[in-house]
A and B are shown apart, each in its own frame.
Chain A
C-alpha cells in the first residue's frame, strides 16, 4: 500500500518570526526620515515680515533679502496695496536672523545706481534685484511691518562724530556724502545739504569722524573745493586735481591755524568760503588727534605756572626782571621744573630773587632737595626736583612720581607737550626731532609758542613724563631728568 509522502511542516521559531515581516523596521525608519525632513523644514521657515515700498523696481518673488552680502530671507509675495498706493513685499526671514528686523531697521531695494558720487549695485544689472537691510543700532523689539526706503540710506555718522554746520552763500555743487578734507585727507563727510530756514544761505550738515574731532577748532576755516582748477596762461595750461572722485564730487577743505583755540562742540557753526585765502593753506599746526589723543587725554599731567623774579642793576638803576614758565607738582610733594626757573642769573642783585608758585613766594635758597638746600649756581640746562617750605595747596593736582621716566628714551618717539589748557596740547612727531647733547631738539618747522617753556613732555608710547620742554633763544629742546 502506497502512502503518499507528506511533508511535516514546522513553524519557524526564530526571534524574527514573531514579527510578521522585518520590513516594519524599514517602515519605522522611513517614518523617522520623513518626520526629520518635515521638522527641519518647518524649523527653518522663519516669520513673514511686510515691507511697503513706493516702487517695486522689478522685484520678484524668490528674490533675496541680504545683510552684508549674505542671504537672510527671501521674498515670498509682492502685491500692490490699494489703500496706501504702495508695493507690499512679504519677506520670509530665516529663524536665525529674525531679530535683525527690529524697530528702526531700514530696508531698500538694491538696484544699479550711477551718480557722480558713486556707482552702486553693479551686481544687480544682470542679476536679480535684492532687498538690503540695515538693522537698527539699538536692538529693540522685533516688528513685522516696515516702510522701505526709496534709495540707500546715507550712512549714519559714526558714534562720537562731531557734527558741525557750515553756512555757504550758495550750494556750489556740494552734494551729501562729499568729503571734508584736511590736507587732502578725508576726516569726515557732508551729511545733508539744505536751504537755511530763512533761505538766505545754504546749510551743510557735516560729521567729522571721532578720531579727527580735535582738528576742528573755533578758528578753523572751511572752503568749498570744486575739485579741479584750470589755469590757462602764457606759460601753458595747469590743471590741478586730486583724485578722480574728488574731481567729480568736490568736497570741503578745512584748515586750522596753530594756536590756543578751543575744540568745538557739536552744533558749532562755521562759514563756508568760496576759496581759501593764501595763508590758510600754509598753516601747519601740530594737533593731537585720534588714538594718541584718546590714550593720553584721560590722564594728562597738569603743570602749574611758576615765576622767578629778581632785580638787576643797569645804568645805576634797579630793574625788575622775571622769568616765567611751567612746573609739574608730583605726588611725593616735590616739584619738577627746569633748573633755570629757580636759579637767578649771576647778574642778579644778591637776595633779591624770589620764586613764586601756587600762591607761595619763597627765596630760591629756601628750596630743598631731599632736605638739603638747592644748589643755586646757574645751570642753563637740566632740570631740578625740589620741595618748597610749605606744602603746595591740596587743590593742585599732582602727577604720580612713578609716572616719570628717569631719562630720555634711547629711541626718539612721538610725544605730547602737555599744556595745562587741553586746547593747546601739541603733539610732536618723532620725525621732527633730532638728538643733541642737551636733549631732543625739535625741528624749527614746528611752531611752538614761547608760552610752552617748562611744559612736561609725555611719551605717547609709555605715557610717562620723559622730560620738560626748554625754549631758548634759538632752539626748543626736550630736557630729560
Chain B
C-alpha cells in the first residue's frame, strides 16, 4: 500500500527545517551575540565564549546548566528529529524509542527561552550601557524558529506507518 502523501510531506518538511536549524547552529553559538560598551569598556560575547568565561571564573554549576540546556539539548533534539525523518531503515521500536526521547529532550531544550532572557536583559540594562546586537542574533533567531517549525511539523503518525 502506497504511503499517504501527508506523512511523506510532513517528514520532508521536518527534515528540511531541522537541517536548516543545524546549519545555523554554529553561527548562532560561536559568533558574538552582544556587544556592550560601558564607559569605554568594550565587551563582546558569544554563547560559547560566555560559557567558557563562566568555567574560567569557577562558576561550574551555572556554566554546566547553560551548556546543557542551550547547547547540548537543542543539538540532541535536532539530531533526533533528523534521525526520525531520514533513517527509515530503523525498526519501529527504535523509532518509537527515539521519539520518546526527543519529546523528553525537547522540554529541556531552552534556546527559545534563552532568546527571551537575552531580550529581557537588554531592555533592563539599556539605560546603563550601550549595547549592539552582534551578527549571531540573526542566526540565533532563525535557528530557534527553524527548530520550532521542525518540531511542530513532525507528525508522530509517520512512525507507525510502515515503510
Interface positions of A (Cβ within 8 A of B): 11-12, 19-21, 23-24, 26-27, 29-31, 33-34, 37-38, 40-41, 60, 62-64, 74, 123-124, 126-128, 130
Q: Does A21 lie within 8 Å of B20, measured CB to CB?
A: no
Residues of A within 8 A of B40 (CB): 123-124, 126-128, 130
Q: Which residues of B contact A (CB under 8 A)?
A: 5, 8-9, 11-13, 16-17, 19-21, 23-24, 26-27, 30-32, 39-44, 135-136, 138-139, 142, 146, 149
> In the complex, what residues of A have CB within 8 A of residue B5's CB?
11-12
Q: Can you list 16 contacts pairing A with B, beta carbon distance less than 8 Å?
A: A23-B149, A26-B20, A27-B17, A27-B23, A30-B20, A30-B24, A33-B138, A38-B31, A40-B135, A41-B135, A60-B41, A62-B42, A126-B40, A128-B40, A128-B42, A130-B40
| Distance A23 CA – B135 CA, assembled complex (angstroms) | 24
Tell me if A41 and B31 are in contact (CB < 8 A): yes
B39 contacts A34, CB within 8 Å? no
Q: Among the listed A20, A26, A62, A127, which residue makes an inter-chain contact with B8, where contact means beta carbons less than 8 Å apart?
A: A20
Contacts of A12 in B (CB 8 A): 5
Assuming the contacts A21-B12, A33-B139, A37-B138, asked whether A27 and B20 have C-beta atoms less than 8 A apart, the reply is yes
> Chain B at the A interface: mostly helix, strand, loop or mixed?
helix
CB contacts (< 8 Å) of B139 on chain A: these are 33-34, 37
In the complex, the answer to whether A62 meets B44 with C-beta atoms within 8 Å is: yes
Q: A21-B12, A33-B139 are in contact. Are A126 and B39 (CB under 8 A)?
A: yes
What residues of B have a CB within 8 angstroms of the CB of A126 in the complex? 39-40
Q: Which residue of A lies closest to B17 (CB)?
A: A23
Nearest-neighbour CB distance to chain B for A95, whole angstroms, equals 16
**Residue of chain B at shortest CB distance from A44:** B135
Name A28's closest neighbour in chain B (CB-CB).
Answer: B20
Bound form: Cα–Cα A37–B29 in Å: 12
Could you tell me the distance between the alpha carbons of A64 and B19 in the complex, rounded to whole angstroms?
39
Complex formed: what's the CA distance from A123 to B39 in Å? 10
The residues of B that contact A127 with a CB separation of less than 8 Å are 39-41
Closest Cβ of chain B to A110, distance in Å, is: 11
B142 partner residues in chain A, CB cutoff 8 A: 30, 33
Given contacts A23-B12, A24-B16, A37-B31, contact A31 B44 (CB under 8 A): no
Residues of B within 8 A of A64 (CB): 42
A124→B39 CA distance, assembly (Å): 10
B26 contacts A23, CB within 8 Å?
no
Identify A62's interface contact among B12, B31, B43, CB under 8 A.
B43
Residues of chain B contacted by A29 (CB below 8 angstroms)? 20
A21 contacts B16, CB within 8 Å? yes
- Residues of chain A lying within 8 A (CB to CB) of residue B31: 37-38, 41
Cβ–Cβ contact A31 & B136, under 8 A = no
Do residues A30 and B146 form an inter-chain contact, with CB atoms below 8 A? yes
Report chain B residues within 8 Å CB of A26: 16-17, 20, 146
Q: Hey, which chain A residues are within 8 Å of B136, CB to CB?
A: 37
A62 touches B41 (CB 8 A): yes
A63-B39 Cα distance, complex, nearest whole Å? 11
Q: How close is A383's CB to chain B, nearest CB, in angstroms?
A: 70
Q: Evaluate whether A34 and B42 lie within 8 angstroms (CB atoms) in the complex, with A24-B16, A27-B16 already known.
A: no
Query: When chains A and B are docked, how far (Å) is the Cα of A37 from the Cα of B136?
Result: 8
Contact B42 A38 (CB under 8 A): no
Report the separation of the CA atoms of residues A19 and B20 in the bound assembly, to the nearest whole angstrom: 17
Minimum CB–CB distance for B149 against chain A, Å = 8
B43 touches A20 (CB 8 A): no
| The one of A23, A34, A37 that contacts B16, using a Cβ cutoff of 8 Å | A23
> Complex formed: what's the CA distance from A123 to B41 in Å?
12
Question: Is B138 a contact of A63 with CB atoms below 8 Å?
Answer: no
Shortest distance between the CB of A76 and any CB in chain B (Å): 11
Residue of A nearest to B8 (CB): A20
Q: Which residue of B lies closest to A11 (CB)?
A: B5
Closest to B42 in A: A62
Contact, CB under 8 Å: B27 / A34: yes
User: Pick the contact of A63 from B16, B21, B41 — CB < 8 Å?
Assistant: B41
> How far apart are A109's CB and chain B's nearest CB, in angstroms?
14
Q: Which of A31, A40, A60, A130 contacts B23 (CB 8 A)?
A: A31
Contacts of B20 in A (CB 8 A): 23, 26-27, 29-31
**Residues of chain A with a CB closer than 8 A to B27's CB:** 33-34, 37-38
- Bound-complex Cα distance A123 to B43 (A): 18
Residue contact B23 to A63, C-beta cutoff 8 Å: no
Output the least CB separation between A278 and chain B (Å): 54
